[in-house]
């Protein structure tokens, strides 16, 4: 351990963490390229080739050109996924085949108004639904 001073260890660790951060950024940019709705197929291919062939320069150029809207696109996708999840939950939770009390009362009131059932039958049906 004498031939590798402590300062060199810190420099090595710093460069390693910078490399990990760059790698994370590269993966995030490639994911953003492929999930972007406003890029055509040729645009996606061009950005991907630039990021792969000239990785450091390509990432820097992408961040300058499209980095400001990366977070907006990700937030929009998250909001769409959340909305789809909420719609699914509402659909499955409220999807019972039995009508609600209000719907049943409305149906009986309509039948009474049309004369299909008498007042006595309406009151019995209403009492049964409310019980």
The structure tokens listed for 71 are 């977070």
Instruction: Determine the average pLDDT of the residues in 109-129.
Output: 87
Give me the residue spans of the domains in the chain. Answer: 1-70, 98-131
- Banded model confidence at residue 5, pLDDT cuts 50, 70, 90: confident
Q: 69 near 32, Cβ under 8 Å?
A: no
- Report d(CA 67, CA 60) in Å as an integer: 9
Q: Is the pTM of this model over 0.85?
A: no
What tens digit of pLDDT does each residue of 36-59 get?
A: 888 899 999 999 999 999 988 999
């Amino acid at each position: 351990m004498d031939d590798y001073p402590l300062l060199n260890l810190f420099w090595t660790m710093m460069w390693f963490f910078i490399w990990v951060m760059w790698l994370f950024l590269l993966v995030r940019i490639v994911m953003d390229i492929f999930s972007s709705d406003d890029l055509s197929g040729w645009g996606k291919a061009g950005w991907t080739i630039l990021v792969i062939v000239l990785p450091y320069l390509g990432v820097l150029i992408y961040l300058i050109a499209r980095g400001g809207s990366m977070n907006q696109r990700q937030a929009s996708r998250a909001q769409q996924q959340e909305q789809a999840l909420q719609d699914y939950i509402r659909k499955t939770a409220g999807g019972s085949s039995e009508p609600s009390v209000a719907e049943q009362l409305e149906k009986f009131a309509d039948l009474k108004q049309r004369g299909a059932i008498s007042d006595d039958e309406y009151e019995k049906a209403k009492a049964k639904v409310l019980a």
